[in-house]
Structure formats: C-alpha cells, structure tokens
Amino acid sequence: MRLCGQEEDIVASAIDEITINYEEGGRLIVKELDKQILSKGAWTTIVFKYQDWDPKKEDYGPERFTIRRYRKIKDSYRQQSKFNISSREQAGKIIDALEKWIGNSDA
C-alpha cells in the first residue's frame, strides 16, 4: 500500500489491504475501527466505521461511518467515490429506509 499525502491517493494491491487509516505528522488522524466489504471485483464497495482525531480535545471524536467505492486499475485499487454518513441518526435513517424497501420487496 502507498500513501501520497491525501486520503484519495491511497493505493492497495489487494482488497484486504484497503484501509482508511490516515496518518499526518506522526499522528493517526483517521482511525479505522472496523470495515465490512460489501462487494468485491473490479469495483469494490466497503463500509467503514472510524473516528477522526480532534486536536482541540486531544482525543478521538465520535464514531463515524463512510461508504467507499474502489476501482481496480492495473492491479491496484484506487478510491473513486465516497459517502460520509454524518451521524448515528443519519445512519439509522439509512437503515430504516433500506429495511422498508427490502421488507416490501417481492424478490
């Protein structure tokens, strides 16, 4: 894995190597707590649970969530897009909507 100074520049050669841990100046700024791989292949989707470092509090902030899409190009996965879930409340609303749609599905 290679880190080029920006989160979007992270390159991984295998899905399991993909992380959102991000270090700057010797400090872990984004701390990955967990990840779930939603899909694999040339386009990979992963949902992460993480915390951001809060320099004012000298501690990590609340748990956050992000969904990221990676594309495999020449044997390396590169981030193509991301959606940050802003709060537990928003995460709950997303879950409620999906459960409603899936629960009403004929499939």
**Do residues 64 and 85 touch, judged by C-beta distance below 8 A?**
yes
Q: List the alpha helices (DSSP H) in the chain.
A: 88-103
Q: What predicted TM-score, i.e. pTM, was given to this entire model?
A: 0.84
Share of the chain above pLDDT 70, in %: 88
What integer best gives the mean pLDDT of the chain? 89
According to DSSP, the residues that pair with 35 across neighbouring strands are 48
pLDDT of residue 104: 72
C-alpha 90/C-alpha 36 separation (Å) is: 18
Tell me the mean pLDDT in the region 2-18: 67
Sign of CA dihedral 65, 67, 73, 74: positive
43-70 per-position pLDDT tens digit: 999 999 999 999 999 999 999 999 999 9
Q: Which residue's structure tokens are 């100046």?
A: 25
